[in-house]
Each structure stands twice: as C-alpha cells, then as structure tokens.
C-alpha cells in the first residue's frame, strides 16, 4: 500500500515541541497557549546548554527558541543544533524583540520568527505552518525510504530469480547464447560459435562436415527472426564420428517492439538419439 503523505489534525497536535526561554513567565505563557490550542507533547527548557542534548534524544518537531539568553544565546544554540541535524534542517522558530536579529537568525538556519511582545494568534499560525511543513517533510522522507527498501528487495528477488534461471539453463543445456540485432554475440557459455556455425556459408559448412540444408534452415530462422524449438541438425566430425545437435531460440524485442537480438540454448544429443558412427 502506498504510504499517505497527508497530515491529520491529530498528527499536528501530537507533534513534539520544545520551548526554550530563560524567563519562566515566557515559558508558562507559551506552554499554556499551546495547551489551549490542543497540543499535547510540550517540553520547557530554561537552560540553553541543555537544548542540543535534549534534541539529540527526542528529535523535536519544533523548537521555539528565544534569542536573548544569558550564558548561551539562541545563535549559539542553533550552532550546537546544526551539529546534530545531518540534513541541515533546523526546526527552529526564533523569538526575538530585536528587529535586527530576524535576518541574522534566518541566515543561521532558523525557519521562521515571531516578535516580542507576543501576538498569540500570529504565534499559533506560524507554529502550525512550521509543523505542517516539518511533518510533511518527514512523512515524505519515510515514504521514500519505504519505496527505496521495496526497490532493494525487489532487485534482490530479481537477481535471485536470474541466478536460478541461469543455473537452470546451465543444467538443462550444453550452451547458451545471446546476440544483438547485428548478430554479434553478447553473452554466451560453451562452444556457441562452433555449434551454431556462425559466420560460415554453404561452402564452409560443407567443408566442415555440416548437414548444409539443416544448418541453412537454422541460419534462415535466425536471420528472419523466427522462433524455433528443439531444432535438430547434424555434422560429421573430422574423426568420422557423427554429431547431432538440438537448439531452441527466440527473437528478443524491447518495450517498443523493436528487435534487439536473439537468445537460445542448445545441447549435443548424439547419445540420446543413438546416432550410429
């Protein structure tokens, strides 16, 4: 089933939020505002040096970060967070009373900002917008990971299937071949060129002891892209022994029905048909 990339209101309200401010009154105000809006997972932090370790452990969906704090300001906190976020995305909404800090904060990696004193409607709107973007980003990332995993699994299955087919071909035939549209061998096992009489003509075939009529028919089948099953032909070896061969082959076409080559298997069936020397 294809993963959904839509967000429900519950998913947004269950987002994991961290509020960072050194003033207890601001923490209480923002926490109560979020609770009144229906948010259920809220953490408050008044010590900026604890923010990075907390985020490393909890991976907050949103961090409301005050910029003006003693000991470690919001810009230093964002530097510490950048070392944690491998995708370079800082889920930070900064809080500042300094207009000049807004652009600097955005350049430092913050995604948005709100001004002090708070406009609660504005704060709620910006929080919801940021969470929608962040959660969709994560959801799409998860969907892509699931898809990549399915592709890897399917690729592994196809490789196993190909290996089984190759092994079956090897066990059920003496030789296997593939050739391109120009008749050039691209993949093969065993003495394919010799057994198919490739590259020869009637005079060459007769000289090499082939049944010229049968081998000509085989060559004509391949030249005219006709499939053939268990085609029998023979030749007389230099030591006087007779050899009977059996070959099956089919033309290969791509998705646009363009001829791209031939493939087939063959085997020596002299013993099976009981050819007398």
Q: Do 173-273 and 9-146 fall under one CATH topology?
A: no
- Give the per-residue pLDDT at 170: 54
State the pLDDT at residue 226.
Answer: 93
* Cα–Cα nearest to 63, from 8, 97, 109, 102: 109
* Dihedral (CA of 59, 65, 70, 75) sign: positive
Domain residue spans in the chain? 9-146, 173-273
At 183-201, the pLDDT tens digits run 888 988 888 877 877 667 7
- What contacts 24+ positions apart, CB below 8 Å, involve 247-251? 247/195, 247/196, 247/218, 249/221, 249/222, 251/225, 251/226, 251/227
Phi first, then psi: give them for residue 108, nearest 5 degrees.
Answer: -80, -10
Fold for 173-273, please state it: Beta-Lactamase (3.30.450)
Q: Give the residue from 186, 252, 244 showing the smallest Cα distance to 215.
A: 244
According to CATH, the topology of domain 9-146 is: Rossmann fold (3.40.50)
Binned at pLDDT 50, 70 and 90, residue 95 comes out as: confident
Both tokens of 221, joined, read: 């089948």
């Amino acid at each position: 089933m294809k993963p959904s990339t839509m967000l429900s209101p519950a998913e947004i309200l269950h987002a994991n939020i961290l509020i960072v401010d050194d003033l207890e009154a601001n923490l209480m105000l923002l926490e109560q505002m979020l609770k009144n809006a229906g948010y259920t997972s809220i953490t408050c932090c008044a010590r900026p040096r604890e923010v990075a370790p907390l985020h490393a452990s909890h991976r907050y969906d949103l961090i409301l970060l005050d910029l003006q704090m003693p000991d470690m300001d919001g810009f230093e906190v964002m530097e510490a967070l950048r070392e944690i976020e491998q995708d370079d995305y800082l889920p930070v909404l900064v809080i500042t009373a300094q207009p000049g800090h807004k652009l600097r904060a955005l350049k430092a990696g913050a995604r948005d900002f709100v001004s002090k004193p708070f406009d609660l409607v504005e704060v709620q709107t910006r929080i919801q917008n940021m969470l929608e973007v962040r959660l969709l980003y994560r959801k799409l990332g998860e969907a892509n990971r699931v898809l990549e995993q399915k592709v890897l699994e399917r690729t592994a299955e196809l490789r196993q299937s190909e290996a089984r087919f190759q092994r079956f071909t090897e066990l059920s035939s003496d030789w296997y071949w593939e050739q391109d549209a120009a008749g050039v061998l691209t993949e093969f096992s065993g003495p394919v060129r010799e057994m198919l009489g490739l590259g020869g003509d009637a005079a060459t075939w007769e000289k090499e002891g082939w049944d010229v009529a049968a081998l000509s028919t085989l060559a004509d089948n391949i030249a005219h892209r006709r499939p053939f099953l268990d085609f029998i032909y023979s030749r007389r070896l230099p030591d006087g022994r007779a050899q009977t061969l059996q070959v099956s082959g089919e033309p290969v076409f791509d998705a646009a029905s363009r001829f791209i080559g031939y493939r087939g298997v063959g085997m020596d069936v002299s013993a099976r048909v009981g050819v007398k020397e």
